Amino acid sequence: MPLVNGTLYFFFDTFVYSNFIKMLKLFLIFLVLVIIIIAFFVIETQDFDFVEFVIIMLIALQGLFLIISGNDLLINFLGIELQSLCFYILVGLRKHSNLGIEAAFKYFVLSAYSNLISLFGISFIYGFVGTTKLKEINILLDTESNTMLVLGVLFLFVGVFFKLAVFLFHY
């Protein structure tokens, strides 16, 4: 496990650990605990189970941990998908609401399209660079400008922005 400038790289340099990442993870744990405490008092008025909600929130937290610690495009993609899957479930968690189930299904279908665009961009980047490591991609972006690499990064950002419903991508 190489240690570079206080940053620990492990598992074939696909994960990173540093003090900043540790503090960010602690902050996310605090936020999720606050959300769970608030939900405990609000849950009585809703028609879903509190234990299901807590488990789904903890799995989404693990997806956020993957995103924060990931040093690879595919690890970050898996983290985004893990937390997105939890959000689909949270949207459709109310058992007797047809609108919630419809919204979860629409969210899932639109997310599938955004995944297609993101994975297409990742394949362009991998085809040009030969790796999915963020550190090596960053070095290559600084030194060279190739149309295929820029196109891959553009597809990747379009897919992520479509998933996040950033301006103009939610229409």
The pLDDT of residue 169: 61
Taking the C-alpha atoms of residue 115 and residue 93, their distance in angstroms, rounded to an integer, is 23
118 in any annotated domain: yes
170 in any annotated domain: no
Q: What is the pLDDT of residues 75-99, one digit of tens each?
A: 999 998 898 888 888 888 777 778 8
Candidates 100, 4, 106, 82; CA nearest to 46 is 100
Q: What is the pLDDT of residues 37-67, one digit of tens each?
A: 988 887 776 667 788 888 999 999 999 999 9
Poorest-confidence range of 2-6, 9-13, 90-94? 2-6
Q: What is the pLDDT of residues 130-162, one digit of tens each?
A: 888 888 887 877 776 777 888 888 898 888 888
79 in any annotated domain: yes
171 in any annotated domain: no
128 in any annotated domain: yes
169 in any annotated domain: no
Q: Are 63 and 83 in contact (CB under 8 A)?
A: yes
Residue 170 pLDDT greater than 70, yes or no: no
Note down the domain range covering 80: 3-164
Q: Are 14 and 70 in contact (CB under 8 A)?
A: yes
Number of domains in the chain: 1
- 2 to each of 10, 13, 20, 84, how far by Cα in Å? 7, 9, 17, 32
135 in any annotated domain: yes
142 in any annotated domain: yes
Residue 127 pLDDT greater than 80, yes or no: yes
The residue ranges of DSSP E strands in 73-127, in sequence order, are: none
